[in-house]
């Protein structure tokens, strides 16, 4: 059996997907990054190999996400692509007519516009937690509600409450005020969903032509309250892929399949044995010019695997 692997290392979660030669998902892993991307990638590969046949051959592997360079160096990636490309490819694979992608992760969010399958515009939010999944996590923790119960409870709302969602600090104080006024928990929860959707569209969607079909991806797409909030704000149906939480990894695997189909060579994948390898990461400051770039290098034992971070590429491996 030949498979193509995709790894999406995000700031909050890490995802791994395996596709067969028909680009159908055959195995996947999903879990928190926990600030230890190397260890988590190793652990997930060990889990993944237990889900695949003993004679499996990795025909290609791609990485994406904020930790794509690190993951790519560890596994020997054939393709290293940004999240915009990976999510666009995955959405187009399942919904070929997609024209807008809403993607909300744990600590960043993005909107991607496609026309005829080509990305024509995008915008990312990487600096404000009020437009990300951590916003909902934080408020659910304060209300002592499991994040899995957030969506179903929000859908029970009969009269949503407007909550200031421009900033997590203001949102929390406003939410406390609404509690003290006697509003029900479901109404407050749906108010939080509307606040996040409003923040997202006002920041990332400002001045952009949002056309359907609209696909909602990322871990937050599991929240039914968020789906309804976006549908009401955009006045259109929202499509949620079955594997919405691992779409970045699926996109990386699809890109690896496409790349390897164009090249007549074996994959650079270092093998599942890397799950047992010891890696070390160090950095140093280049004093070659006034930029003073921080150059990161990763080693497997004494072997230098990769080095990156300089603006001029002087140190890159």
The model's pLDDT over 33-80, given as tens digits with 9 standing for 90+, comes to 888 888 899 999 999 988 988 888 999 999 998 888 888 888 888 999
pLDDT band of 167, cuts 50, 70, 90: low
pLDDT of residue 189: 85
Find how far residue 213's CA is from the centre of its chain: 20
- Confidence at residue 271, expressed as pLDDT on a 0 to 100 scale: 85
Structure tokens at 13: 């979660």
Contact 293, 310 (CB under 8 A): yes
pLDDT of the residue at 301: 78
- For residues 291 and 311, the answer to whether their CB atoms sit within 8 Å is yes
pTM of the model: 0.85
Percent of the chain with pLDDT strictly greater than 70: 95
Is residue 166 pLDDT above 70, yes or no?
no
Q: Residue 88: what pLDDT?
A: 93
Lowest mean pLDDT among 6-10, 109-113, 196-200, 223-227: 196-200
- Asked, as a colleague might, if the bond just before 213 is cis with ω within 30 of 0, I would say yes
Query: What structural domains does the chain harbor?
Result: 2-87+248-277 (3.30.420.40), 96-240 (3.30.420.40)
Instruction: Give counts: helices (H), strands (E), the chain.
Output: 9, 13
Residue 127, pLDDT score: 59
Position 35 scores a pLDDT of 81
Tokens read off for 47: 């889990």
List, edge to edge, every strand of the sheet that includes 57-64: 25-32, 13-19, 2-9, 57-64, 79-80
Average pLDDT over residues 183-194: 85
- Position 130 scores a pLDDT of 55
Q: H or E stretch including 74?
A: helix 68-75
Sign of CA dihedral 93, 94, 100, 106: negative
Each residue's pLDDT tens digit, 111-158: 999 998 899 999 887 656 556 777 778 778 877 888 888 888 888 888
Helix then strand then coil, % of the chain, to nearest 5: 40, 25, 35
Model confidence at 24, pLDDT cuts 50, 70, 90, reads very high
Q: Which residue has the higher pLDDT, 166 or 220?
A: 220
The whole-angstrom separation of Cα 253 and Cα 5 is 5
Give bridge partners of residue 111 from the DSSP assignment. 102, 123
pLDDT one-digit tens code per residue, 222-279: 889 899 999 999 999 999 999 998 999 999 999 999 999 988 788 889 888 888 888 8
Q: Mean pLDDT for the chain?
A: 86
Higher pLDDT, 171 or 148: 148
Average of pLDDT values for 196-218?
A: 87
């Amino acid at each position: 059996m030949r498979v193509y692997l995709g790894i999406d290392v995000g700031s909050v979660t890490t995802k791994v997907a395996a596709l067969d030669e028909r680009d159908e998902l055959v195995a996947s892993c999903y879990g928190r990054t926990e600030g230890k991307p190397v260890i988590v990638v190793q652990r997930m590969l060990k889990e993944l190999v237990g889900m695949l046949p003993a004679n499996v051959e990795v025909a290609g592997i791609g990485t994406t996400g904020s930790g794509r360079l690190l993951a790519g160096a560890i596994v020997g990636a054939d393709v290293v692509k940004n999240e915009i490309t990976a999510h666009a490819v995955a959405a187009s694979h399942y919904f070929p007519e997609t024209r807008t992608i809403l993607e909300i992760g744990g600590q960043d969010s993005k909107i991607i516009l496609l026309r005829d399958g080509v990305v024509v515009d995008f915008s990312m939010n990487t600096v404000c937690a009020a437009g990300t999944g951590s916003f909902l996590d934080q408020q659910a923790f304060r209300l002592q509600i499991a994040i899995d119960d957030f969506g179903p409870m929000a859908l029970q709302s009969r009269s949503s409450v407007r909550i200031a969602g421009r900033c997590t600090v203001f949102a929390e104080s406003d939410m406390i005020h609404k509690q003290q006024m006697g509003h029900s928990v479901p109404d407050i929860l749906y108010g939080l969903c509307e606040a996040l959707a409003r923040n997202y569209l006002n920041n990332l969607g400002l001045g952009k032509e949002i056309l359907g079909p609209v696909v909602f991806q990322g871990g937050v797409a599991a929240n039914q309250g968020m789906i309804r909030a976006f549908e009401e704000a955009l006045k259109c149906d929202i499509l949620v892929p079955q594997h919405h939480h691992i779409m970045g990894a699926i996109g990386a695997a699809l890109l690896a399949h496409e790349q390897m189909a164009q090249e007549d060579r074996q994959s650079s994948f270092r093998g599942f044995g890397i799950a047992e390898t010891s890696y070390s990461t160090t950095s140093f400051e280049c004093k070659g010019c006034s930029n003073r770039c921080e150059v990161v290098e990763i080693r497997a034992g004494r072997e230098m695997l990769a080095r990156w971070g300089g603006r001029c590429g002087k140190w890159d491996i």
